[in-house]
Amino acid sequence: MTNPATPPKAEKLSAIKGMNDILPPDSARWEALEDTVRRLMRAYAYENIRTPIVEHTALFVRGLGEVTDIVEKEMYSFEDKLNGDKLTMRPENTAGVVRAAIEHSLLYNGGKRLYYMGPMFRHERPQRGRYRQFHQIGAEALGFGGPELDAEVILMAHALCQRLGITDIELQINSLGQPHERNAHRSALIAHFEAHHDVLDPEAQRRLHLNPLRLLDSKNPAMQEVIGAAPKLIEFLGEASKAHLAAVLEILDANGVAHTLNHRLVRGLDYYNLTVFEFVTTRLGSQGTVCAGGRYDYLMEQVGGKPAPAVGWAMGMERVLELIGEQALVTAPLDVYALVTDVADFPRVHQCLQQLRQCGLSVQMQAVADGALPGIKSQFKRADASGARYALIFGSDEMADRVVTVKALRDASVAQVRRPLDAVAQWAYSLQSAD
Ligand code: ATP
Ligand code: MG
């Protein structure tokens, strides 16, 4: 019989590899990033969209393409136990946004500019800048076919980097042309790689006829020479495709956004056409792509909607935060730390603190710890460590006189004063308007 006084020790559980807890104080940096994104999206009039984490597997297979890294090996897929539906944790969110736009006829009245932030899931080898649950900021402009929208979303991503203080980042851009142009290029690529069949690794040989464009992505050193000599897509672009790219570049130039044409930039997904781009840094090792996107005029049709052009991007939040470093996202400090010496005073202390919070101050209250309120010295230490600008002391003398002592913690020149409890709201307002 087990002794009820000593239950068996439960096994310690940990998070899944590659899926991270985001803890304070780091979570404050995430919130600051999210705040910056929301302000930026308002400035560009992009509206927020929130779609489910789980979608039908078919959406990603059809949307992203069967012969892509994501669909072939990175998706977290499972069967619904109740009805056998094949489901997938979203590895990206463009397909989900497009599905929602079709399902709810979001384009009934012309184009729609949308943005999202949230977790994505890919079964990859976890390493710096590469996780199994990671987070993306994304912008999608649906129903717009003109180059001015390609430029708008690029300007927006660029502005976000600027606002975040990320300057050592390069914008690379390319055009994938239209499907018929890609097909002509595809045939030429197959012919080229077939002529050099002996240098292709098994992966490349397997993909050669399935998706030869993907061979250009290969990092295999032995294949770089033959990749370098491969026919370039740009040589197959017609006048309209070239004019589209030129128009995008003209807008970027007019706005002082530096860019590099990279004719080998093909992106890992099937749904892109015309403009594709990446914001790349050398500071994150091989995980250097911070933001990636492009035009996807055929995705709507591919997942069952009426044809509609679209352009967008996604940015990896972990990579952005790593680039920004520790200091850059300054988060608002705590305004008040409340010191309390008698548990009997909590009703009145709470009453007072509620008023301060209504005035917009951030307030943290000393609570009972290990069965008792800590001594006043220890409370002052905690107040100091909290980073609060003011300590409010609700001691027994103060309570008897219906006042509170206000002590500035970060400015020794400000004298400590007692304020009547029914006048703390005025003090809080004066503090707010002084900021
Ligand atoms: P990579 O070449 O690094 O694998 P990708 O082409 O697979 O990137 P996209 O699908 O275009 O990436 O996603 C857009 C952005 O999301 C990337 O540029 C990156 O910042 C971020 N991202 C993608 N996969 C991960 C991951 N596993 N962990 C963290 N961030 C990621
Ligand atoms: Mg990838």
Please name the fold of domain 26-177+237-324. Answer: BirA Bifunctional Protein; domain 2 (3.30.930)
CA of 315 to the centre of ligand 1 (A): 8
CA of 91 to the centre of ligand 2 (A): 10
| Reported pTM | 0.88
CA of 68 to the centre of ligand 1 (A): 13
Across the range 15-36, mean pLDDT stands at 95
Residue of 134, 284, 291 best suited for mutating to test ligand 1, as the one with most atoms within 8 Å of CB = 134
317-351 pLDDT per residue, tens = 999 999 998 666 667 789 999 999 999 999 999 99
Q: For helices 26-43 and 317-324, what crossing angle results, to 10°?
A: 110
For residues 162 and 264, the answer to whether their CB atoms sit within 8 Å is no
CA of 316 to the centre of ligand 1 (A): 6
Name all residues whose Cβ lies below 6 A of ligand 1. Answer: 92, 122, 124, 129-131, 134, 136, 268, 287, 289-292, 314, 316, 318-319
Residues of the chain with CATH 3.40.50.800: 336-434
Tell me which residue has its CA closest to atom 28 in ligand 1: 130
Provide Rg for the chain, Cα atoms: 28
83-93 pLDDT per residue, tens = 999 999 999 99
Tell me whether strands 390-394 and 363-365 are parallel, antiparallel or unpaired: unpaired
Question: For domain 336-434, which CATH number applies: 3.60.15.10, 3.90.1660.10, 3.30.70.20, 3.40.50.800?
Answer: 3.40.50.800
Tell me whether strands 112-121 and 47-48 are parallel, antiparallel or unpaired: parallel
137-146 pLDDT per residue, tens = 999 999 999 9
CA of 289 to the centre of ligand 1 (A): 7
Across the range 249-276, mean pLDDT stands at 90
Q: In the predicted model, is pLDDT for residue 383 greater than 70?
A: yes
Residues of the chain with CATH 3.30.930.10: 26-177+237-324
Question: Is 264 strand, coil or helix?
Answer: coil
Q: Which ligand number lies closest to the CA of residue 125?
A: 1
CA of 69 to the centre of ligand 2 (A): 7
Q: pLDDT exceeding 90 applies to what percent of the chain? A: 83
The DSSP H or E segment spanning 1 is none
CA of 204 to the centre of ligand 1 (A): 21
Q: How far apart are the first and last CA of the chain?
A: 65
Across the range 203-225, mean pLDDT stands at 89
152-208 pLDDT per residue, tens = 999 999 999 999 999 889 999 999 999 999 889 999 999 999 999 999 999 999 989
State which ligand 1 atom lies nearest to the alpha carbon of 268.
6
| pLDDT reported for residue 152 | 98
Question: Is 277 strand, coil or helix?
Answer: strand
State which ligand 1 atom lies nearest to the alpha carbon of 131.
28
Nearest-angstrom CA–CA distance, 91 and 222: 30
CA of 238 to the centre of ligand 2 (A): 30
State which ligand 1 atom lies nearest to the alpha carbon of 320.
20
Tell me which residue has its CA closest to atom 22 in ligand 1: 316
State which ligand 1 atom lies nearest to the alpha carbon of 74.
27
In 3D, which of 155, 353, 184 has the Cα closest to residue 255?
Answer: 155
| pLDDT reported for residue 327 | 60
Query: How many beta carbons lie within 10 A of that of residue 418, not counting itself?
Result: 12
Q: Among 132-136, 215-219, 295-299, 313-317, where is mean pLDDT lowest?
A: 215-219
68-117 pLDDT per residue, tens = 889 999 999 999 999 999 999 999 999 999 999 999 999 999 999 999 99
Residue of 132, 266, 289, 311 best suited for mutating to test ligand 1, as the one with most atoms within 8 Å of CB = 289
Across the range 211-236, mean pLDDT stands at 90
